[in-house]
């Protein structure tokens, strides 16, 4: 084999080798591209499935709340009304003058309880609230709590020109309600601060009560403790929000939630 033939052979062999290597590279790139597309499609399907589950949970939760509200109004409300009328009737009939004042006080307590239950029932069954603006709902909820004279909820917001999806709105409202109810019930607080801060990063929500607080380490293992906290944390996770909760004895309890801007309109 002469030098010319050898050169041609080497050239052809090199060309074939380059084509082969190029084919492998192209195959690998195509495979990687298809794999990435497949992974993106799977991630999209997972996100869509998670969203469908979230919407189903929201719908079931809303229906459950409405059923509870109607049950409170139709059954418990009627029973308390009868109890109130009976208490005042006993006082009016003067059956036992020595305890008339106490019976009247019992009637007033029942009336106050009835008013709270009716207010709660309206908040659970009011379908118009679902369409209301987020901050309008917050203002209405704070006004409802303040009207009960069990404590004062003061709220502020640095910006009112933002929107949130119905999913985020419902979950945040339930988290805020849970915190406020727990504070009023367990912490013996007088004031609750609720602050909203909106910027390009998202919506930051800060809640703080001036109650007695508690030692989180001492109570975290109790079976009957932390259900409300777990509910709040789970709701925050479901809308992709950052969750931070803390409590210090004699310094109150604090909850901070950050909803990234990309999740505010998650629906």
What values do phi and psi take at 10, rounded to 5? -65, -40
Q: Give tens-digit pLDDT for 214-256.
A: 888 776 655 555 677 888 888 898 888 999 999 999 999 999 9
pLDDT higher than 70, residue 137: yes
- Residues 135-170 as b or e (16 or more Cβ within 10 Å = b): bebbebbbebbeeeeebebebebeeeebebeebbbb
Looking at residue 131, its pLDDT comes to 46
Using the predicted structure, report yes or no on whether residue 130 has a pLDDT greater than 90: no
Residue-by-residue DSSP string for 39-52: HHHHHHHHHHHHHH
Domain boundaries, the chain: 131-267
Residues 111-129 pLDDT 10s: 777 777 766 666 665 544 4
pLDDT of residue 191: 95
User: What share of the chain has pLDDT > 90, as a percent?
Assistant: 22
33 vs 208: which has the higher pLDDT: 208
How does pLDDT run across 39-90, given as a tens digit for each residue?
888 887 777 676 667 666 666 666 676 667 666 666 676 667 777 777 777 7
Q: What is the CATH number of domain 131-267?
A: 3.30.565.10
């Amino acid at each position: 084999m002469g030098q010319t033939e050898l050169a041609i052979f080497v050239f052809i062999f090199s060309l074939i080798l380059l084509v082969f290597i190029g084919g492998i590279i192209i195959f690998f790139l195509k495979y990687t591209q298809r794999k990435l597309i497949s992974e993106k499609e799977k991630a999209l399907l997972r996100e869509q499935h998670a969203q469908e589950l979230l919407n189903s949970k929201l719908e079931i939760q809303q229906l459950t709340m409405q059923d509870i509200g109607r049950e409170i109004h139709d059954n418990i409300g009627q029973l308390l009304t009868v109890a109130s009328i009976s208490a005042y009737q006993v006082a009016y009939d003067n059956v036992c003058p020595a305890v008339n004042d106490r019976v009247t006080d019992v009637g007033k307590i029942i009336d106050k309880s009835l008013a709270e239950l009716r207010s709660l029932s309206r908040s659970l069954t009011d379908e118009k609230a679902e369409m209301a603006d987020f901050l309008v709902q917050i203002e209405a909820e704070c006004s409802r709590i303040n009207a009960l004279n069990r404590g004062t909820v003061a709220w502020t917001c640095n910006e009112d020109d933002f929107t949130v999806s119905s999913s985020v709105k419902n979950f945040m409202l339930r988290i805020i309600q849970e915190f406020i109810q727990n504070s009023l019930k367990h912490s013996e607080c007088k004031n609750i601060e609720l602050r909203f801060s909106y910027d390009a990063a998202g919506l930051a929500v800060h809640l703080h009560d001036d109650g007695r607080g508690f030692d989180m380490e001492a109570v975290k293992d109790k079976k009957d403790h932390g259900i409300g906290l777990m509910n709040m944390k789970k709701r925050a996770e479901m809308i992709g929000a950052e969750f931070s909760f803390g409590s210090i004895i004699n310094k109150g309890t604090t909850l901070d939630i950050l909803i990234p801007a990309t999740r505010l309109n998650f629906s």
